[in-house]
Amino acid sequence: MHYNFRQFELIDIPEAMILFNALNREGAEVSFADVATKEEIKEWMADSNCHLYSAIFEGKLIAVFRARAGEGDKKHSALLTIAVDKEMRGRHVAKSFTLFCLEDIKKLGISLARAYVYSNNPSSINTLLSCGFTVSGCVYQHHYNEVAGAYIDDIIFHKIL
């Protein structure tokens, strides 16, 4: 399969909202699921510390990647968020998309990527490990998950770019 990875554009906003709303309905524990308005996405696009990317397959947006760089003396690092359309999961989109985006943010001067992943999300954990990330810690019992009936840790990953 051939995917087109590129910087996020204004024309991607309606499909991104569809993706984010679908994540919300499925109860996905990713910050994109909390996006309520198109204006939030436009604010990200206007923020010079926020780098957004789109993954397109057969003319449809199938994934969004965000790297939020720090400010001042923290500008060398970025916190990552990625979401893939449910229908496209399991096809290695996340890995190839992440690697593409990491290479691009490296060109922007970002030398350290970080991600926080809930311990009950093995797909995201495996994706980050396959992209060369290292576990650097955890937030123990970060939150209580009603469905799992247990406290879930937030695992901290990093990668030197």
Domain boundaries, the chain: 4-115
Residues 44-55, mean pLDDT to the nearest whole number: 97
- Sign of the alpha-carbon torsion through 147, 149, 154, 157: negative
**pLDDT tens-digit readout, 18-47:** 999 999 998 888 889 899 999 999 999 999
The Cα 29–Cα 13 span in angstroms is: 21
Burial class (CB in 10 A: 0-12, 13-18, 19+), 147: exposed
Tell me the three state secondary structure of residue 33. helix
**pLDDT tens-digit readout, 54-87:** 999 999 999 999 999 999 999 999 999 999 999 9
Asked whether 101 and 139 are in contact (CB, 8 A), the reply is no
pTM for this entry: 0.93
Domain at 4-115, CATH from 3.40.630.30, 3.30.450.80, 3.30.450.20, 3.40.50.1370 = 3.40.630.30
Residues 100-129, mean pLDDT to the nearest whole number: 96
Mean pLDDT (the chain) is 94
The Cα 81–Cα 19 span in angstroms is: 14
- Helix H or strand E encompassing 100: helix 93-107
**pLDDT tens-digit readout, 87-96:** 998 888 999 9
